[in-house]
């Protein structure tokens, strides 16, 4: 498969076996979603063939395609054979009079319904929905009435419904909270078909996958084990391949040097043989790795005072629902707080309440009562969950970034962009053409340019690939300032957080310790 001059896959032959769970990895733009489309049949390969089982469970990306259908019916549609039988059966039953032929067909359809467990379809679908935190009262509503995160979970239930022989899931943990991710992990570990999953959640891949199929070097290499085991094995393979590349380049340079020096002289036969040697080496050029690692480093212009934030009796409600109720806390310089809790419990609301009167921010409506006092010399870098409209259109990425520090040199701006993989011409990309991942990386460029001493990050990993998430993880651990972080990435929670706020509809448990210690204390409390 190629797009113009860009080769995604070249002569790839690979098999995905029953009972194995494969993580499909590779950086943004390497072709993971395209490969998924080749597997589902949504897109034909330009060359070669794909053999797939009859029953495929696929996570649909179009959230609006089922808006007119009931939630429970959307799930049952995951078993296409059963759904078609139900539809045809309803048409026959609706006839005022039935012919003998209709009666015979009805018998066949009832046979299909029986084979496909159709008589327990609604209760089976309800169990899946409950596991994904869609309560019973939503099951008979239309999909159009559901919120985005809920729709994703319904479409996940659709993919899992009807015991497919193979499951293809593209980013299934997006929009899921931690409890739903854990439920999904347990479900997939028990699944006995073939699983192929794309995810940027390292913890999820390690928990679920028995194998990792990595897209790189214009091919797919399968490694045994989860993501971390693949990285170790791949590092060894990559260093071997790249040293071969280096030796080959050195050899070509030596041969070209000889050709240049003696092409006009008497050693024409030797020059000719060296030219042939160069041609041979160039045609056997090894595909280069397309792994790119961003370099994230959060420096500070100056540290804040010893107390970064004082929170006194803060409250916020949405209509009748109390989201935060009289919360008090003192945050010292250098603390790294992770906010955890189910989706919709108020984590983003909490961040917005804290920022309502912060230096450089003013949105008084985000706080109903109470006081938030920011410390001496505090400067804030904010990464909102929804960054739609934050990057103005009609300019280049470099121009947009330059506005946040007009004194910065062109070299500084392009250096920062290069760190975040906008190399060369890519910094001149128009802002309206940026993908989700590029927008997120540009937002990090802005934070790095501003050098704040407090970072407020709301779901910063949503559009980042694994390489970028790992770079962010390391940068946050090394950052000497204060961090407030909302994330569903368990590795980030465990490795960055020094304090946990557990948000649960108005009640916030403030735990002074790491995320692991917090979950340990919950387990002991539960026991």
pLDDT band at 384; cut points 50, 70, 90: very high
Q: How many CB atoms lie within 10 A of CB 122?
A: 15
- pLDDT of amino acid 286: 54
Q: Say yes or no: 184 and 245 in one domain.
A: no
The mean pLDDT value for 361-388 works out to 87
Q: Say yes or no: 324 and 465 in one domain.
A: yes
Q: Say yes or no: 476 and 350 in one domain.
A: yes
130 found inside a domain: yes
What CATH number does the domain containing 88 carry?
3.40.50.300
288 found inside a domain: no
Q: How many CB atoms lie within 10 A of CB 293?
A: 12
H/E segment holding residue 177: none
SS3 337: strand
- Residue 367, pLDDT above cutoff 50: yes
SS3 253: helix
- Residue 524, pLDDT above cutoff 80: no
358 found inside a domain: yes
The mean pLDDT value for 124-151 works out to 91
The mean pLDDT value for 181-189 works out to 90
- pLDDT of amino acid 527: 41
The mean pLDDT value for 211-218 works out to 88
All residues at 6 or more sequence positions from 87 whose CB lies less than 8 Å from its CB, including other chains: none
- Residue 10, pLDDT above cutoff 50: yes
Q: Say yes or no: 131 and 206 in one domain.
A: yes
Q: Say yes or no: 417 and 368 in one domain.
A: yes
Among 1-5, 73-77, 355-359, name the one with the lowest average pLDDT: 1-5
- pLDDT of amino acid 378: 96
Q: Say yes or no: 42 and 171 in one domain.
A: yes
Is 221 exposed, middle or buried, given 0-12, 13-18 or 19+ CB atoms closer than 10 A?
middle
- Residue 285, pLDDT above cutoff 60: no
Q: Say yes or no: 210 and 275 in one domain.
A: no
351 found inside a domain: yes
Q: Say yes or no: 318 and 449 in one domain.
A: yes
pLDDT band at 525; cut points 50, 70, 90: low
pTM of the model: 0.72
- pLDDT of amino acid 242: 73
Q: Say yes or no: 163 and 262 in one domain.
A: no
d(CA 122, CA 125): 5
The per-residue pLDDT of the chain, averaged, comes to 89
Q: Provide φ and ψ at 263, rounded to 5°.
A: -65, -30
- pLDDT of amino acid 237: 75
289 found inside a domain: no
Last residue of a domain, one of 193, 226, 259: 226
Quote the tokens at residue 85.
């039988």
Q: Say yes or no: 234 and 317 in one domain.
A: no
294 found inside a domain: no
Tens of pLDDT, residues 310-365: 999 999 988 888 889 999 999 999 999 999 998 888 899 999 999 988 988 877 66
Cα 221 off chain centre by: 21
d(CA 256, CA 275): 8
The mean pLDDT value for 20-46 works out to 89
Q: Do 177 and 152 form a contact (C-beta atoms < 8 A)? A: no
297 found inside a domain: no
- pLDDT of amino acid 466: 85
- pLDDT of amino acid 360: 85
H/E segment holding residue 457: strand 454-458
298 found inside a domain: no
| Total number of domains in the chain | 3
- pLDDT of amino acid 183: 86
Highest mean predicted confidence (pLDDT) among 9-23, 246-260, 418-432? 9-23
All residues at 6 or more sequence positions from 516 whose CB lies less than 8 Å from its CB, including other chains: 494
- pLDDT of amino acid 248: 82
Q: Say yes or no: 110 and 180 in one domain.
A: yes
User: Which of the pair, 279 or 398, is modelled with greater confidence?
Assistant: 398
Q: Say yes or no: 244 and 328 in one domain.
A: no
Instruction: Supply the range of the domain harboring residue 356.
Output: 307-526
């Amino acid at each position: 498969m190629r797009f113009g001059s860009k080769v995604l896959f070249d002569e790839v032959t690979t098999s995905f076996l029953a009972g194995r769970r494969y993580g499909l990895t590779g950086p943004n733009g390497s072709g993971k979603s395209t490969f998924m489309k080749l597997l589902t049949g949504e897109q034909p390969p330009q060359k070669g063939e794909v053999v797939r089982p009859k029953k495929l469970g696929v996570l649909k990306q179009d959230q609006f395609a089922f808006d007119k259908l009931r939630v429970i019916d959307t799930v049952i549609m995951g078993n296409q054979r059963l759904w078609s039988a139900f539809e045809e059966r309803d048409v026959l039953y609706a006839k005022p009079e039935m012919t003998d032929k209709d009666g015979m067909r009805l018998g066949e359809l009832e046979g299909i319904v029986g084979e496909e467990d159709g008589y327990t379809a609604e209760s089976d679908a309800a169990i899946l929905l409950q596991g994904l935190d869609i309560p019973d009262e939503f099951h008979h509503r239309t999909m159009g009435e559901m919120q985005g995160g809920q729709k994703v979970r319904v479409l996940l239930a659709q993919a899992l419904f009807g015991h497919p022989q193979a499951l293809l899931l593209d980013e299934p943990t997006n929009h899921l909270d931690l409890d739903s991710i854990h439920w999904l992990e347990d479900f997939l570990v028990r699944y006995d078909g073939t699983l192929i999953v794309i995810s940027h959640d390292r913890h999820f891949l390690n928990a679920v996958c028995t194998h990792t199929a990595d897209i790189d070097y214009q091919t797919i290499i399968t490694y045994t084990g989860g993501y971390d085991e693949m990285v170790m094995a791949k590092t060894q393979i990559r260093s071997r391949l790249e040293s071969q590349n280096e030796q080959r380049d050195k050899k070509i340079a030596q041969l070209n040097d000889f050709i240049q020096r003696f092409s006009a002289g008497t050693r024409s036969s030797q020059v000719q043989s060296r030219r042939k040697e160069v041609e041979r080496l160039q045609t056997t050029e090894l595909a280069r790795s397309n792994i790119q690692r961003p370099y994230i480093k959060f420096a500070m212009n100056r540290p804040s005072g010893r107390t970064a934030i004082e929170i006194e009796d803060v409250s916020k409600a949405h209509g009748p629902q109390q989201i935060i109720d009289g919360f008090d806390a003192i945050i010292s310089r250098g603390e790294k707080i992770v906010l955890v809790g189910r989706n919709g419990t108020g984590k983003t609301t909490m961040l917005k309440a804290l920022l309502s009167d912060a230096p450089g921010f003013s949105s008084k409506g985000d706080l109903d009562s109470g006081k938030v006092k920011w410390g001496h010399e505090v400067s804030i870098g904010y990464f909102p969950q929804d960054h739609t409209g934050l990057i103005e259109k009609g300019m280049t990425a470099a121009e947009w970034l330059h506005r946040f520090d007009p004194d910065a040199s062109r070299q500084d701006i392009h250096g920062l962009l290069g760190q975040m993989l906008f190399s060369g011409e890519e910094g001149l990309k128009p802002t309206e053409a940026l993908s989700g991942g590029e927008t997120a990386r540009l937002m990090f460029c802005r934070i790095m340019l501003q050098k704040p001493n407090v970072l407020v990050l709301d779901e910063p990993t949503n559009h980042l690939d694994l390489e970028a998430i790992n770079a962010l993880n390391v940068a946050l651990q090394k950052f000497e300032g204060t961090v407030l972080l909302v994330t569903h990435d368990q590795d980030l929670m465990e490795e960055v957080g020094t304090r946990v706020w557990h948000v649960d509809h108005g009640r916030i448990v403030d735990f002074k310790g790491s995320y692991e210690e917090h979950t340990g204390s919950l387990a002991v409390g539960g026991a």
